């Protein structure tokens, strides 16, 4: 399989190593400095694109590839205000687009656990839910895409919560889920959900030890996506 890498930072390099180890070929390595090289690639030189670029570049990168007829696996966060446009373009060109805020199998199991716990905790209103996410200092967006997905899972299943907000100096309403975003060292990703009452606290967490799990999931998604048409995510890959 010929894979075009869009974004060649630490994640892109980790994806490259895993893809090569799995017998794939890298059709190109595109970053900010050499984006024009993407335009010189022939249509049949690329079987699938794995896009881990930046919030500023993602929308333009994804739409360009869909117009070329290349299936796209995207893991960039911070651009989702354009998601409806991307999905419409994918349908228009009868393409394939796979998006996940996190490609780790463990994180996606954590997403499901988070929803189940929220459903259970709706019967115990004395517990207030909050979230902390910790990432490396190079991560540009906050809260993380994973944190937003977790927040959405809570809001869907916990009556009384109407939205989320980043933690700040001002107190927020009880109806709002507070997300604390910390940037420390080289932390790959930690997400903690807390339900606290006056007498105790319930906590679940996911702690990534490296980028390997994210990168492997993205390559597996790319392998799965080739030959398909439509909009997909990790629930499609893993099975509901």
Binding-site annotation: residue ranges: 35, 75-77, 100-103, 136, 145-146
Rounded Cα distance, 103 and 219, in Å: 9
Contacts of 209 (CB under 8 A, 6+ apart): 188
Rounded Cα distance, 179 and 78, in Å: 16
Question: What is the separation of C-alpha 148 from the centre of its chain, rounded to a whole number of angstroms?
Answer: 9
135 is catalytic: yes
Q: Pick from 32, 100, 26, 30: which is nearest to 65 by CA?
A: 30
Q: Within 13 Å of residue 209, how many CA atoms lie on the same side as its CB?
A: 1
Cite the annotated binding site for (S)-2,3,4,5-tetrahydrodipicolinate by residue number.
Answer: 136, 145-146
Rounded Cα distance, 215 and 200, in Å: 37
Cite the annotated binding site for NAD(+) by residue number.
Answer: 75-77, 100-103
Token pair, residue 151, equals: 């927040």
* Helices 83-92 & 58-68 angle (0-180, nearest 10): 10
Three-class secondary structure of residue 176 per DSSP: strand
In order of 26, 80, 98, 125, 126, the CA distances from 101 in angstroms are: 23, 10, 10, 29, 31
The catalytic residue among 10, 93, 115, 139 is: 139
The catalytic residue among 24, 135, 191, 206 is: 135
* 8 Å CB contact between 92 and 49: no
* 8 Å CB contact between 55 and 141: yes
209 is catalytic: no
Residues with a known catalytic role: 135, 139
């Amino acid at each position: 399989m010929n894979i075009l890498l869009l974004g060649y930072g630490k994640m892109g390099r980790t994806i490259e190593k895993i893809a090569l180890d799995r017998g794939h070929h890298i059709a190109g390595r595109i970053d900010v400095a050499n984006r024009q090289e993407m335009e010189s690639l022939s249509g049949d030189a690329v079987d699938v694109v794995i896009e881990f670029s930046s919030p500023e570049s993602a929308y333009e990168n994804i739409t360009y590839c869909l117009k070329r007829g290349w299936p796209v696996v995207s893991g960039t966060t911070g651009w989702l205000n354009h998601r409806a446009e991307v999905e419409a373009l994918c349908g228009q060109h009868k393409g394939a687009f796979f998006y996940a805020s996190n490609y780790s199998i463990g994180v996606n199991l954590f997403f499901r656990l988070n929803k189940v716990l929220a459903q259970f905790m709706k019967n115990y209103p004395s517990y207030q839910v909050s979230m902390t996410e910790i990432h490396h200092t190079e991560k540009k967006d906050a809260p993380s895409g994973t944190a937003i997905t977790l927040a959405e899972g809570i809001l869907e299943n916990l009556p009384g919560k109407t939205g989320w907000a980043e933690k700040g100096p001002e107190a927020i309403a009880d109806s709002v889920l507070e997300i604390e975003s910390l940037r420390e060292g080289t932390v790959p990703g930690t997400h903690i959900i807390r339900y606290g009452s006056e007498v105790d606290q319930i906590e679940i967490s996911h702690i990534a030890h490296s980028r390997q799990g994210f990168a492997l999931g993205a390559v597996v998604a790319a392998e799965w996506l080739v030959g398909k048409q439509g909009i997909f995510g990790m629930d499609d890959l893993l099975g509901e």
